[in-house]
């Protein structure tokens, strides 16, 4: 596919006006081209669905299907100079999440369970043959995938509490248990399921077809956050999978932690994009709104709040970009990804609150976009490790003492 853009045709200062420290300037020409096409598709296909589908608590898969035509995982322009790599650069990944999340966190979340969690599980845990079998269908979105780790009674304590079981009989594994809060589960073609081997007590991973006999999914209802995301409650009753669907390099929870070290960075990037989305929505509003006979953006206290929001977005980008640079070099130290997620989610939460404040009463309606970011931030604040869990990981690094119960 030929590039449709060169860097001279894109003014990055106007393309990324909230990137005051110009982190985007290190993107390649091909990466900028794909990001531009991704944004255009989001504006054309996703934006018109946001209010209606948030109200309905349904995901607009027709818009998603149009979005995936951009090929934002496997476009050849993303791999210029990276011919043997299985994924684009980590810097591009920061801005991919930035684009998705500042349009809508539900779209970003559905992507992260597919292109983040499942794909990372495959790359980390799969053999070369398994990667070759599934990776092309993941990158092209031919298959939709998801990640089944958390359970009804075990979230933050999943390392010791994981109770879904796997029993091997001949060349077949039999899975029993439940998984909860699994994004995209009901629509997934393949699901990464983590289960404890009854024989040795170790956690193993399986790629389970979404239509397997004995596997049922019920979408979780009555959510106030990420309303469009179809979060599933999975029940596995004597689900059978063959040995060739066991990811051979996942043989303990230590391996699962290795996967989470890579994907926790993704959530820090997602939080950055969400903060930017809330800020940009608030900024648009105050530039148009008249109050007390003056433009709302001219008030001192409003400008102070806008300044804090801008500073938060810049700080979050700083964490995301530096973390991406380190991970690009193979540095996946747990404390780094945990600190980035902790910081960015905290600043994101402050930013959406400030955005809600400056928009006033209209900030509780979906019409201004701010309310959607405000409630969705609560889910991002909790998943991929709550604030407290990530803080304890950082604290353990600082003191040399574990405060986990």
Question: What is the per-residue pLDDT across 125-178, written as a single tens digit (0 to 9) for each?
Answer: 999 999 999 999 999 999 999 999 999 988 777 778 899 999 999 999 999 999
Burial class (CB in 10 A: 0-12, 13-18, 19+), 295: middle
pLDDT score at 2: 39
Identify the residue with better confidence: 325 or 295: 325
Whole-angstrom distance, CA of residue 336 vs CA of residue 264: 10
Q: Distance between CA 205 and CA 184 in Å, rounded?
A: 18
Distance from the Cα of residue 369 to its chain's centroid: 19
Does residue 274 have a pLDDT over 80?
Answer: yes
Q: What are 8-49's pLDDT values in tens digits?
A: 578 999 999 999 999 999 999 999 999 999 999 999 999 999
- The phi, psi pair for 20, rounded to 5°, reads -65, -25
The strand pairing partners of 146, in sequence order, are 191
Structure tokens of 160?
Answer: 């010791």
Report the percent of the chain where pLDDT is more than 70.
Answer: 98
Residue 373 and residue 367: Cα distance in Å, rounded? Answer: 12
Supply the pLDDT for residue 8: 52
Domains within the chain, CATH numbers bracketed: 13-139 (1.10.540.10), 145-247 (2.40.110.10), 253-399 (1.20.140.10)
**Does residue 293 carry a pLDDT above 90?**
no
Mean pLDDT of 99-110: 97
Q: Which of 75-89, 104-118, 248-262 has the highest mean pLDDT?
A: 104-118
Q: Model confidence over 124-135: pLDDT tens digits?
A: 999 999 999 999
Specify the pLDDT at position 51. 96
Task: For residue 338, give both structure tokens.
Answer: 């945990």
CB 228 within 8 A of CB 97: no
For residue 405, how many C-alpha atoms fall within 13 Å in the half-sphere facing its CB? 6
Ordered DSSP codes for 17-84:
TT-TT-GGGGS-HHHHHHHHHHHHHIIIIIGGGHHHHHHHT---HHHHHHHGGG-TTT-GGGGTT-TT
- Residue 160 has a pLDDT of 81
């Amino acid at each position: 596919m030929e590039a449709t853009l060169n860097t001279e045709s894109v003014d990055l200062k106007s393309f990324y006006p909230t990137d005051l420290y110009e982190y985007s300037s290190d993107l390649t020409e091909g990466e900028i081209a794909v990001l531009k096409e991704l944004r255009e598709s989001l504006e054309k296909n996703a934006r018109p669905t946001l209010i209606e589908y948030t109200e309905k608590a349904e995901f607009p898969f027709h818009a998603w299907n149009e979005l995936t035509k951009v090929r934002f995982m496997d476009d050849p322009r993303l791999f210029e100079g990276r011919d043997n790599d299985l994924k684009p650069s980590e810097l591009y990944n920061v801005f991919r999440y930035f684009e998705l999340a500042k349009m809508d966190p539900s779209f970003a979340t559905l992507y992260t369970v597919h292109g983040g969690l499942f794909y990372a599980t495959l790359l980390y845990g799969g053999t070369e043959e398994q990667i070759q079998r599934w990776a092309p269908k993941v990158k092209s979105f031919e298959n939709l995938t998801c990640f089944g780790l958390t359970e009804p009674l075990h979230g933050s304590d999943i390392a010791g509490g994981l109770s879904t079981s796997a029993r091997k009989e001949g060349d077949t594994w039999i899975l029993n248990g439940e998984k909860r809060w699994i994004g995209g589960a009901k629509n997934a073609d393949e699901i990464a399921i983590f289960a404890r081997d009854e024989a040795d007590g170790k956690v193993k991973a399986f790629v389970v077809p979404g239509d397997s006999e004995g596997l049922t999914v019920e979408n979780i209802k009555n959510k106030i956050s990420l309303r469009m995301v179809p979060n599933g409650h999975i029940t596995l009753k004597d689900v059978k999978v063959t040995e060739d669907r066991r990811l051979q390099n996942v043989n303990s929870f230590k391996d699962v932690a290795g996967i989470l070290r890579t994907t926790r960075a993704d959530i820090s990037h997602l939080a950055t994009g969400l903060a930017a989305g809330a800020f940009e929505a608030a900024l648009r509003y105050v530039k148009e709104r008249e109050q007390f006979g003056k433009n709302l953006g001219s008030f001192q206290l409003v400008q102070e709040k806008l300044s804090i929001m801008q500073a938060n977005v810049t700080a979050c980008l700083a964490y995301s970009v530096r973390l991406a640079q380190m991970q690009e070099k193979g540095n996946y130290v747990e404390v780094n990804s945990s600190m980035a997620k902790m910081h960015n989610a905290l600043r994101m939460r402050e930013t959406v609150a400030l955005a809600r404040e400056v928009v006033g009463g209209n900030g509780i309606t979906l019409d201004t976009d701010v309310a959607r970011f405000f409630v969705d931030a609560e889910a991002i604040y909790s998943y991929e490790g709550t604030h407290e869990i990530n803080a304890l990981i950082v604290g353990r690094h600082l003191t040399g003492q574990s405060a986990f119960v």
